[in-house]
Amino acid sequence: MQRWPTLIEDHSGAEPAILILDQTRLPAEPVMVRLDSLAAAAHAIRSMQVRGAPLIGVTAAYGVVLGLGDDVSDERLGEIIALLAATRPTAVNLHWALARMEQTLRKSALVERRSAAWQEAKTIAVLDGEANAAIGRHGAELMAHLVPIKPRASRSSCLQIMTHCNAGRLATAAHGTAIAPIYALHSAGQKLHVWVSETRPRNQGLLTAWELAEAAVPHTLIVDNAAGLLMRRGEVDCVIVGADRIAGNGDVANKVGTYLKALAAKAAGIPFFVAAPCSTIDFDCPNGEAIVIEERDVAELGAPGIPAHNPAFDVTPAELVTAIISEYGVSAPGALASWQSP
C-alpha cells in the first residue's frame, strides 16, 4: 500500500503552501489537500482534516507561515498566533508549537521573518518525527519484556496490545506515538496483534486500522465497549495510548474513553502505557482538573433531535498509568514533577 504523508511542504506554486492528507476522507479515499492560507490551516485543524496532538502542533506551525504575507509585523504575528491557538483547546502541542514559532520569529529581523518561519516549522516537524522514533525504540524495549509474562496457549507467544483512538503516524509528522513501539516491535520480527477500539463518535479507530493495514501489522477492530470483556478474558497483554496533554502530576488527557480502558486495565492487572513526546507535557498545568476538555458539536453523535453531550477527551489519573514513554525513555507518571521544562 502507498504511504501517504500526513503533511508536506508544497513549493510548486508562485506562493508556497502545504499539502495535508485529509483525514476526514479516510479510510474511504486518501486525498492530499492544498492549504495556502491561515484560514485554510485553521479550518483544517478545527474540522479535523488534520488531527492528533503532534500533527495539530505541526500544522499550526505551518499555519503561522501561511499567515505571514506582506505584513510580517509583531502585531500580525500576534493575531495569527491568537487565531490558531483558539482552534482546539485540549492538545497542548498546539500551544507548544505556537510558542516556539513566536519566540523564534520575534527574535528574527522583519526582512527574514518569512524564511525564519518556514525554517522553524520544518524544525518542529523534524523534531516530532525524531521524538516519535525514540518513543518507538523505548516503548519496544519495554513491551518486548511483556512477552514471556503472560504465556497464552491459544495464541502462542503473540503479544496482544490494545490501543484507543489514533496515536499512529496519522496523528504525527512521522512514526506515531502509541503506535511507534508497535511498528518497532513488528519490524524487529516480534509476533503481535493489535486490538483497535472504534473510538466513537469520530471513529479514529478506523484510521488506526487503515495505517496498521498499510504496514501489514495484524489487527482487529472492536467496539469501544468490548475492551473490558477482552481484558478480563486475558486477551490483552498491555494497553498503550497517546496523549493530548499530560499534567505536571502525570494525569493524562486523551481521547474520551481512555479513562475507562485504564480502569479496566487496572482491574485486570494489565499494564497501561501512555506514549507521548515532551511537547505533550504541560509543566504549567498542575493536574488533570486544570485541563480544558474540548466540547464538540453534538451533530457528531448522529442523533438529531435528541439531547446530547459530546466531550472529546477525558482525564486518566496518574495512579492508573503504569508508565509514560517519551523520547527520553520510560518514566513513572509521578516522576514528571521533578523534570525541568525542556
**Residues near ligand MRU, by CB under 6 A:** 51-54, 91, 165, 167, 171-172, 177, 204, 242-244, 254-255, 312
* Least distance (Å) between residue 51 CB and ligand MRU: 3
Instruction: Exactly one of 128, 244, 282, 314 is catalytic; name it.
Output: 244
Q: For ligand MRU, give the closer residue by CB, 50 or 117.
A: 50
* Least distance (Å) between residue 58 CB and ligand MRU: 11
* Least distance (Å) between residue 40 CB and ligand MRU: 18
Reply yes or no on whether 224 is catalytic: no
Q: How far apart are CA 198 and CA 329, in angstroms?
A: 29
Q: For ligand MRU, give the closer residue by CB, 113 or 255.
A: 255
* Least distance (Å) between residue 253 CB and ligand MRU: 8
Residue with cell 483525514: 23
Q: For ligand MRU, give the closer residue by CB, 91 or 117.
A: 91
Q: For ligand MRU, give the closer residue by CB, 104 or 177.
A: 177
Query: Which sequence positions are flagged as catalytic?
Result: 244
